[in-house]
Chain A
Amino acid sequence: MSFLTIENLSAFVGPAPILRDVSLTVTAGEVRGLVGESGAGKSMIGKAVLGTLPPAVRVASGRIVLEGEDLLAMRPRDRRRVIGARAALIPQDPLTALNPSRRVGPQITNRLVDILGWTRHDAQVRALELLDEVHIPEPERVMRAYPHELSGGMRQRILIASAFAAEPRLIIADEPTTALDVTVQKQILRLIREMQARHGTALLFVTHDLGVVSKICQSLTVLYGGKVLEDTRVGDFFAGPTHPYSAALLAATPKYTDPDASLTPVPEAVIDGVRAEIEAFDRMHGHV
């Protein structure tokens, strides 16, 4: 059974399409990679699910179904509650994702208390447990700290703890390691994987790094220009991708034992091919 199903989602900024008929599913306990270069629309998909699209973005068609509930058809208030209770975000930049004027503790417990109706005490106990799970020493002290007193790696651990706090069925991690030091990246990646496995949470993992995908994902979706080019199992993908762009992406990826190395460019000819494909799609759907 799939926890999250996105069906034929199209979104525009003004007249310009930024998501083109996107479909993807995440099944129970699965880790799905969402891969594409910068600007491909990866974050927009996450935001569409979580209901945090910028005001300029208009969803034109499609459905987003989370555990049988059609999110786009719900009243905003109900939708927020469903998302708050069943889904969570691990954000990209831990330095900006914590409120600088609030202590860490309430930022972990507030969802439990305000949205899910836990008692303050229970939420506190839960937060301490979680901080322990994400290997933060002296959790009591950290709960009382302000974000600026902690390192980027610590803050990302806190955000991970916070994401898992309400035992969500789905977590969306939007390039959760790109803003971190290289040495910290590996630890955080390992931590997310460890937490995901322990809690059995479905994970939509946004990245531009195929090396990371090979390590933690079971399936992946390749995105370019807001259009899904390939949707496959990870094993099949690394055995031989079906789309020329994916093949070029894979060929351009250095050894995925070395996730620090950046992508070398995909050949022009392949890009031109993808662009032509997108133009054909737009013509067919009457977008300019």
Chain B
Amino acid sequence: MTLIRRILLRLLTMAITLFGVAVIVFFVIRVVPGNPIAMMLPPGAGEEDIARLKALYGLDKTIPEQFVIWLSGVLHGDFGTSITTRQPVLGLVLSRLPATIELSVMALVVAVIIGGALALTGTRRRGTRTEGAIDVANGMALSVPDFLWGLVLILLFGVLWPVFHISGRVSPALDLPFSTNFYLFESVLRLRFDIWADLVSHMFMPSLALAIPLAAIIAQLLKQSLKETMNLDYVTLARTKGYGENHVITREALPNAVLPTLTLIGVQFTFLIGGTVIIERLFSYEGLGNMAIDAVINRDLPLIQGIVILFALIFTVVNLVVDLTYAALNPRLRHG
């Protein structure tokens, strides 16, 4: 199958997936109890006020009718208006998206660095106490979910040894000369390393909390694949050529051992993004996840829909990228 056909097929699947998600979310949030209008009005508002507001937000129609209206809006780039803030959903969501992307990517990078380093060290020292210690650490990291790591980190770096910022995305006192909300990215481009350091200090704990479980998964799987690969004949042959352990691990074994881990990272990265919802809340980080929780509390139906669709879009795009990377790295798929 050619690359183009492969991509087209995936795009089609993505569209179907997104539609399915939209349908489910739309109906579920309208069926569960909780009335967005009631929450907006002052106590003692009359039936008339309620009816008027309902009509304003289109909530007086049947659910299928509402869906058709919403969907045709979406297809024209209009995701509706947030009930609580009365601003367009799309603008709200897009303003928060960069914060979540930066946090997730940072967490992913941290996870890959820590997990990769542990896997390589464990392989290099296989059969020794170092490997045993790595296995124990992995087990611990995996048996505790990310938000509990968040609490542990707050205790460590917020209370006992307060060197990092506990809450928020950036110190309010700082003047931000940025034209996008990709603060971290822009601070590097504009060489504002003072701001960059402040951002990193804020991101340190949330990204580490998100990264720890993924790092453990990467370390475990990659180490296992590496150790299996190390016994293969071409690795032995490389040793007879005069290569040492480090070269053999990184140059001969790693490129072949990394593929299963890569696929797994793709799947796990979507879980990590899901984890941002609670982690952002825990650290009052102004991202999409934090906004999602507010939206649910306020029963802000259009905003919930917008956020969920965006999350679903991110997940499917991540999966597509992983698939294509996998194909690019594996010569057998590339030429087969």
Task: Please report A residues at the B interface, Cβ cutoff 8 Å.
Answer: 50-52, 55, 76-77, 80-81, 83-85, 87-89, 91-93, 96-102, 110-111, 114-115, 146, 148-149, 159
Residue of B nearest to A112 (CB): B241
Q: What are 30 A-B pairs at a CB distance below 8 A? A: A50-B239, A77-B244, A80-B244, A83-B240, A84-B240, A84-B241, A89-B236, A89-B237, A91-B236, A92-B233, A97-B233, A99-B234, A99-B256, A100-B234, A100-B331, A101-B256, A101-B329, A102-B255, A110-B238, A110-B241, A111-B241, A111-B242, A114-B242, A114-B243, A114-B247, A146-B332, A148-B331, A148-B335, A149-B335, A159-B237
Residue B42, interface by CB 8 Å: no
Bound CA span A285–B252, Å:
41
Which of B233, B234, B332 contacts A148 (CB under 8 A)?
A: B332
Q: Are A52 and B242 in contact (CB under 8 A)?
A: no
With A91-B233, A93-B233, A148-B332 already in contact, 14 other A-B pairs whose C-beta atoms are closer than 8 Å: A51-B239, A55-B127, A83-B240, A87-B240, A89-B240, A91-B236, A99-B255, A100-B234, A102-B255, A111-B241, A115-B243, A146-B331, A146-B335, A159-B237
User: Do residues B335 and A88 form an inter-chain contact, with CB atoms below 8 A?
Assistant: no
Chain B residues near A51: list those with CB within 8 A. 239-240
A99-B256, A148-B332, A149-B335 known; A50-B243 Cβ under 8 A: no
CB of B232 within 8 Å of the partner chain? yes
Q: Is the CB of A96 within 8 A of B233?
A: yes
A92 and B232 alpha carbons, distance in the complex (Å):
12
* Shortest Cβ gap from A76 to chain B (Å): 8
Contact B243–A84 (Cβ < 8 Å) = yes
Residue of A nearest to B331 (CB): A146
B300-336 vs A: 1/0 string, CB under 8 Å? Answer: 0000000000000000000000000000011110010
Q: Chain B contacts of A148 at CB under 8 A?
A: 331-332, 335
* Residues of A with C-beta under 8 A to B329: 101
List the A side residues contacting B238 at CB < 8 Å.
Answer: 99, 110
B residues in contact with A92, CB < 8 Å: 233
Judge whether B237 and A97 touch: CB under 8 Å.
Answer: yes
Query: Which of A50, A96, A98, A100 touches B240 (beta carbons < 8 Å)?
Result: A50
A146: nearest chain-B partner, CB-CB? B331
Judge whether B332 and A100 touch: CB under 8 Å: yes
With a CB–CB cut-off of 8 A, which chain B residues contact A83?
240, 242
Nearest CB in chain A: distance from B336 CB, A: 8
Least CB distance from B302 to A in Å reads 49
Q: Are B239's CB and A52's CB within 8 A?
A: yes
B227, chain A: closest CB distance, angstroms:
11
A51 to chain B, nearest CB (A): 7
Given contacts A55-B127, A101-B331, A149-B335, contact A88 B240 (CB under 8 A): yes
Chain A: CB-nearest residue to B257: A101
Kindly report which residue of chain A lies nearest to residue B256, judged by CB atoms: A101
Residues of B near A111 (CB, < 8 A) are: 241-242
Report the Cα distance A148→B256, complex, angstroms.
14
Contacts of B242 in A (CB 8 A): 80-81, 83-85, 111, 114-115
Instruction: Give the Cβ gap from B276 to chain A, nearest Cβ, in Å.
Output: 34
Asked if residues A99 and B252 are in contact (CB atoms below 8 Å), the reply is yes
Cα distance A100–B233 when bound, in Å? 11
Closest residue of A by beta carbon distance from B259: A101
The docked-state distance in angstroms from the alpha carbon of A64 to that of B232 is 25
A98 contacts across to B, CB distance below 8 A: 234
Known: A80-B243, A84-B242. A96 touches B331 (CB 8 A): no
Task: List the A side residues contacting B331 at CB < 8 Å.
Answer: 100-101, 146, 148
Closest to A172 in B: B240
Which residues of chain B are near A87, meaning CB under 8 Å?
A: 240
* Bound-state Cα–Cα, A80 to B331, Å: 30
Chain B: CB-nearest residue to A148: B332
Chain B residues near A77 (CB, 8 Å)? 244
